[in-house]
Amino acid sequence: MRTHMCGELRSDQIGQTVSVCGWVGRRREHGEHLAFVDLRDHSGIIQCVVNDDVDVRSEYVLRITGTVRARPEGTVNDGLPTGEVEIGDCQVEILRQATPPPFPIDARADDVDENVRLQHRYLDLRRERMQKNLRVRSKINAAVRNAMDAQGFVEVETPMLVPSTPEGAREFLVPSRKEPGSFYALPQSPQLFKQLLMVAGVDRYYQMARCLRDEDLRADRQYEFMQLDMEMSFVTQDDVLDAVSEAVLDAAEVATGERPLPIERITWREAMDRYGIDKPDLRFGLELTELTPIFAATEFKAFAGAGAIKGIRVPGGADEYGRNQLDKLTDRAKSLGAKGLVWLKTTDEGFDSPVAKFLSDDEAAAVRSAMGAETGDLILVVADEWMTTCEVLGTLRNDLGRPPVHEGPYRYVWVVEFPLFVGVDKESGRPKPGHHPFTTPHPDDLDKIESDPLSVRSIAYDLVLNGWELGSGSIRIHEPDLQRRVFHALGISDEEAERKFGFFLNPFDYGAPPHGGFAFGLDRLVAILAGEENIREVIAFPKTQSGTDPMTNSPIPGDPKALAELGLKVLPPAT
RNA sequence: GGUCCCGUGGUGAAGUCUGGAGUUCACGCCGGCCUGUCAAGCCGGAGGUCGCGGGUUCAAGUCCCGUCGGGACCGCCA
């Protein structure tokens, strides 16, 4: 039907008779016997010179046959890859007429209400930007698959209809017709299956896995999302990180044409100390500075006895931030859990600050020196429990300096040695798992599981890109004694463990190899590499923030007959 | 569950604070003219439940209350 794609025609084809197919973009008519038609397919746009009087309108689907020729002197279009040539003597075949689209099928639709774009997603996807995104995604998928295959991983598909599991994200439930009142769940991840595949001796498993979580949506979260899910036997953390790195770096290379440097590592502790967050954005400074020792014997009540005192320095911020803005920053800090926020404006004489008079000369000088502050800088200080201090300043740091996620350069980082337990459950008073309850404790911290659980590190790691968590993983516990100790630390009795996790852990008794794995979100990786700051832009048919699809109108009310067959009855909405 | 922003011909915006006739701009659409344009140009035209409901007022796109839809974020996402 066609000999070339619209966007591939160049001077090389001059003289050739070609056929191209596509949609009518812009057209410029100069009377009955001359019209310029921009024909578009996914590869680009070619100008066709039509001398017949054919009625050709926006988005008509055409097949055009004609001769490639150089454009006349002075009419070359530098803005178009095909701009040196055009198709002349065009024979136009209308394959399908079209009604005018609700929005222009080009970059102008970037500004159109997203709801309208989603209502007509098939038209939105027709645009160059979205075509590019679909294709980048496809290339990344292929690169990831190739990388995993080349490393000896076996792609195994796991079920979409799985049992509901008690822990973790809220699940989507699927009613069973054969057993009314019983339900499957859609998998929030293939976690249990991939570990059982290790018991099965698969050794290296991977899957492009669709995961489903019934949690509220965000710019970086959809109900349904894709993960590169993988698991390996007889490995250390380094083996897992290397295998994942290979896939991620290959993906980055096909998407950007440039292979990133090896991914650096930082411990969770250092990430919190320096960036105040477990998914640090390394693209900008504003790092947290340790000030605790300076105030070891301070008389300033707000600082005395604080677990940690840290500051961030905003270069030249003294003039930039007025009283009003500083009050807002203080409110922000308080809403994040800090008792307050101390701000210091660096002057030639010392500090301009409401609390300047409470600082001794030595303390002021030490702060200035530790922060590397120069006149005109703004310093923000928080004094609180270590975790609170870090988190509050980390959030302020992001508020103040973080560029949009898709703006280069790309800064990948492995965050390792996550704590095994995070926080304490209000009801039980027991620690809560940081990653999941099957994560291996750090070998150096085994003796603290009972005595000081919150200080126990784990062999768990996250991959972070430009401040977005791409994914996480861990080395799993494969020995029953250690698993029992961790369960006990979590306040899970042997009986409860058997009831909740028996179906998953009992198979380990038949010989579970040491194993560990990882899963990272492809949508997020593709979005960043495609230069998008919202994963909806790299998903062909995404849901809105409230979980609806304006194109298909899903979700829709259940059909009474179908409900009856499933043994379901819909209750009136709670008031 | 919560906070904030947005909703005006097909599309994007202005008008809303400070109430006075559906007013304006650009794109698109329809018709006409036009043989080298590429954001083609020129002339003419059509197109509206100002998201929806209620209230205040002589009068509401504009003020108030509620509601629906979209977005950003918090909670949530082991």
- Interface predicted TM-score of the whole assembly (ipTM), two decimals: 0.93
Token representation of residue A515: 């194993």
Nearest-CA neighbor of A20 among A85, A52, A79, A66?
Answer: A66
SS (H, E, C) A509-573: HHCCCCEEEEEEEHHHHHHHHCCCCCHHHHCCCCCCCCCCECCCCECCCCCHHHHHHCCCCCCCC
Distance between CA atoms of residues A146 and A139, nearest Å: 10
Name the nucleotide with the smallest C1'–CA separation from A432.
B78
Chain B positions within 7 A of any protein Cβ atom are 1, 10-13, 27-30, 33-41, 69-78
- Return the pLDDT at A406: 85
Protein CA A84 to sugar C1' B50 (Å): 47
Protein CA A213 to sugar C1' B4 (Å): 26
Distance between CA atoms of residues A440 and A458, nearest Å: 6
Is the pLDDT at A575 greater than 60? The verdict is: no
User: Residues near A575 by Cβ (< 8 Å), separated by ≥ 6?
Assistant: none
Beta strands in A139-296 (DSSP E): 154-155, 173-175, 183-185, 204-212, 224-233, 264-267, 289-290
Selected residue with higher pLDDT from A8 and A407: A8
- Return the pLDDT at A574: 61
Name the nucleotide with the smallest C1'–CA separation from A547.
B70
Residue A173's beta-bridge partner residues?
Answer: A185
- Could you read off the pLDDT of A313-354 as tens digits, one per residue? 999 988 888 887 888 888 888 888 888 899 999 999 889 999
Count of residues for chain A? 575
User: At residue A150, what is the residue type?
Assistant: A
Protein CA A481 to sugar C1' B59 (Å): 81
Strand pairing category for A61-70 and A85-96: antiparallel
A218 touches strand B (CB under 7 A): yes
Between residue 77 and residue 96 of chain A, the positions with Cβ below 7 Å from nucleic chain B are 77, 79-80, 83, 86, 88
- Return the pLDDT at A167: 77
A102 touches strand B (CB under 7 A): yes
Nearest-CA neighbor of A303 among A347, A353, A369?
Answer: A353
Please answer whether residues A118 and A544 qualify as being in contact, where contact means their C-beta atoms are separated by less than 8 angstroms: yes
* Chain centroid to CA A478: 30
- Could you read off the pLDDT of A541-567 as tens digits, one per residue? 999 999 999 999 999 999 999 999 999
Mean pLDDT of the A444-448 span: 96
- Return the pLDDT at A313: 95
A332 touches strand B (CB under 7 A): no
Please answer whether residues A104 and A111 qualify as being in contact, where contact means their C-beta atoms are separated by less than 8 angstroms: no
Residue corresponding to tokens 């990344």:
A140
Mean pLDDT of the A353-365 span: 92
Q: Which of A123-127, A298-302, A321-325, A399-403 is predicted most confidently?
A: A123-127
Protein CA A29 to sugar C1' B30 (Å): 16
Q: Say how many C-beta atoms besides its own lie within 10 A of residue A522's C-beta.
A: 23
